[in-house]
Structure 1
Amino acid sequence: MTPRTSQLLSELFSKYFDKDEVFVALGGADVSAGLCALPFDHIVFTGSPRVGSLVMRAAAANLVPVTLELGGKNPVLIAKDFCLKEAATATMAWKATNAGQVCTGVDYALVPVGCGQDFTAACADAVRARWGEGALEDHDQYCSMINECEAQRMRTLVKEARIGGAEVRSLCPQGRSCESPSSSAGCKVTLTIE
């Protein structure tokens, strides 16, 4: 979570719950390490594999069961008999949630052989239906990346894919490339399909 979201949750939980019911401990790695070393009934962790292994190691000292959600690649698998338009609409809605910055956000779609072009077109239609014909970056409901560093990382990945031979298509109704953001875009990156 972002620091502001964590702070807000801490304030809300403190306001509406007794500290014996819900407690939020804010801090960095030192706080997390200390919490994971306590004899809880169960620890649930969402994050990177590197940190997940540290959580597991700390919990093991007290034989605390751990549930890890370590991200990874999340495919959309589209069956031959499923409506491509419906699949594209659902895929684009989930992909755009929080600018795609969701642990279970869509990373790629597996479509039936010969349906790639139709699926791509349906995705572009879904984007237009959701955000209109204008530039995505200018729409107030089109979410930003968490910071400019992450936005630039995404732009670089798309550029490298194109250099590597991938066919990259902008899903922005204006056809704007995500590799060169507009001056008003800030941390917003145009949806693309490779």
Structure 2
Amino acid sequence: MNVQINIPAEFVQCLEGQRAHFEANRFPDHAQRVADLKSLVRMVADNREQLVEAVNRDYGCRSRFETLFAEIAVTLDGLRSAIKQLNKWMKPQKRHIDPLQLPLAKARLIPQPIGVVGVVVPWNFPIAMAMHPLTCIFAAGNSAMVKMSENSNHLAQLLRQLTPRYFPQGKLAFFADGGGHGPAFTALPFDHIFFTGSSATGSAVMANAARNLTPVTLELGGKSPAVVAPDFAIETAAQRILWAKMFNAGQVCTSVDYLFVPEGQVQAFITAAKAYVARHYPDINRGDYTAIIDQRAYDRLQASLADAQSKGARIVPLLENQKPDATRRIMAPHIVLNPSEAMDVMQREIFGPILPIKTYKTREEVVAYINSHPRPLAFYAYTRDRDLADWYIYNTLSGGVTINDSLLHVGVHSLPFGGIGNSGMGHYHGYEGFLAFSKLRPVLYQGPIRGINMLLPPYGKLADRVVNLLIGMKS
């Protein structure tokens, strides 16, 4: 059944303006694309303090360092990398042609801009999750309309103020959320939709896009597992996993969502985890640790802990001798022991500082469990044994992998980022991002000799000999 969606006039007018802008220059040259990317660099670099403060206001308490590191620095690094690589990305690719079939002909793949891209940005890393796809979109020569999250209103308003100083609206426009703008935005007939968010919302976005046959890139989430092998130092594993779990208070789509620890090593892991928290967060309320985004999310996380405890789990708080400020939604990290499938923490992505731990005896147990669940966005294996690491890689499937650490593959611009199955579809970052927003247009240049003339009707012995030759060549 078709559902009528009311689309705001500002969306329609902006899309029409961006289409006109694109039609006026359907293939921006290298210099123009570099200029656009440099304008993004200036927009972020010139206004970094305002951007950091806007995100802090949206969160209530967002670690300044985490915003500077994960949003500003990584964004600028990605933009500068794209500028350096762009000339190579834009070059047509040569493709082989059998000279006996098409003598003296040439084949090329020419990357061309696709048009206007709609970008839907999540709240957890709102600067980076807007700028990373824009880097790829502009590198490919397109225009973009960007809708921010309802939890990023201060940032959305700031970006709406800043953008006209750097770009015409025909190239880039930002929109705040609210009033049902999400479904209306993705119902627009874009040339491509890029969405980052939950699997449930991703399904709705895909359904909206299907009405216009709009291709989509979906960067979703899921329950990303980690496994510590018996050969890996449990203290080191605890430090690296807790760093990832507490970064942005666990509100990261590639965070470790649950952990496998060898039987007999759980208490050692807990001891090391508590030591990590005590050492690196001596005052969890002072600003180094990020708040949960809103009261609804905070209440959901607290309810998940209560649910796990009521169903038999042992809850281990990692914060000792400190009281988190609940009025500011500062939530202490917790470990959940003996988690079962009936618990909320094992049913859906946690997106907070809660870490369920399962024990195992054999590597086959780990792989069997992971493969019996939807494919995750990330997978983390801690082992010094290269063969074991490879075994885990080749016997599981996820969006990306980091060995002996967590999260870090996301920040490597030469690696594509993207999920699979329930965790998403499509890739971006770097060259793969450039391809995601380009049409690799196949072009055949016919040579001076047209071999197909030997196969024109009426078909005779020559045509038979040629086709038999071709069949024989392929057999």
Partner Cα separation in structure 2 for residue 185 and residue 63 of structure 1: 46
Query: Which runs of structure 2 are paired with 1:44-123 in the superposition (5 Å)?
Result: 44-123=194-273
User: What letter matches 1:143 in structure 2?
Assistant: T
1:76 Cα deviation from its structure 2 partner: 2.1
* Conserved? CA contact 2:197–2:219, under 8 Å: yes
> Which residue in the other structure is 1:125 paired with?
275
**Structure 2 counterpart SS, 1:151:** helix
Residues 1:165 and 2:289 are matched in the alignment: no
> Which residue in the other structure is 1:152 paired with?
299
> Which residue in the other structure is 1:188 paired with?
330
User: What letter matches 1:162 in structure 2?
Assistant: Q
> Deviation per CA, 1:165-185, whole angstroms, max 9, x where unpaired?
2111111032x6xxxx66x43
Q: Which runs of 5+ in 2 are unaligned?
A: 1-122, 124-150, 337-475
User: What letter matches 2:302 in structure 1?
Assistant: R
Moved more, 145-154 or 164-173: 145-154
Q: Which runs of 5+ in 1 are unaligned?
A: none
- Equivalent of residue 10 in structure 1, options 160, 177, 181: 160
**Structure 1 counterpart SS, 2:314:** coil
Partner Cα separation in structure 1 for residue 333 and residue 273 of structure 2: 10
Structure 1 residues 96 and 15: alpha-carbon distance in aligned structure 2, compared to 1, 3 A threshold: farther
**Structure 2 counterpart SS, 1:24:** strand
* Conserved? CA contact 2:156–2:175, under 8 Å: no
Identity %: 37
Number of residue pairs the alignment of both structures matches:
185
> Deviation per CA, 1:154-173, whole angstroms, max 9, x where unpaired?
22221222222211111103
Partner Cα separation in structure 2 for residue 91 and residue 29 of structure 1: 39
Moved more, 14-23 or 157-166: 14-23
* Conserved? CA contact 1:170–1:193, under 8 Å: yes
Partner Cα separation in structure 2 for residue 12 and residue 111 of structure 1: 48
**Structure 2 counterpart SS, 1:190:** coil
* Conserved? CA contact 1:94–1:100, under 8 Å: yes
Higher relative contact order (CA 8 A, sep 6+): 2
Partner Cα separation in structure 2 for residue 24 and residue 120 of structure 1: 44
Structure showing greater Rg: 2
Runs of 4+ in 1 over 6 A off after TM superposition: none
* Conserved? CA contact 1:89–1:126, under 8 Å: yes
Structure 1 residues 63 and 73: alpha-carbon distance in aligned structure 2, compared to 1, 3 A threshold: same
* Conserved? CA contact 1:36–1:58, under 8 Å: yes
- The alignment's C-alpha RMSD in Å is 2.4
TM-score (norm 2): 0.36
Structure 1 residues 77 and 11: alpha-carbon distance in aligned structure 2, compared to 1, 3 A threshold: farther
**Structure 2 counterpart SS, 1:168:** strand
* Conserved? CA contact 1:33–1:55, under 8 Å: yes
TM-score (norm 1): 0.81
Residues 1:141 and 2:288 are matched in the alignment: yes
1:147 Cα deviation from its structure 2 partner: 2.4
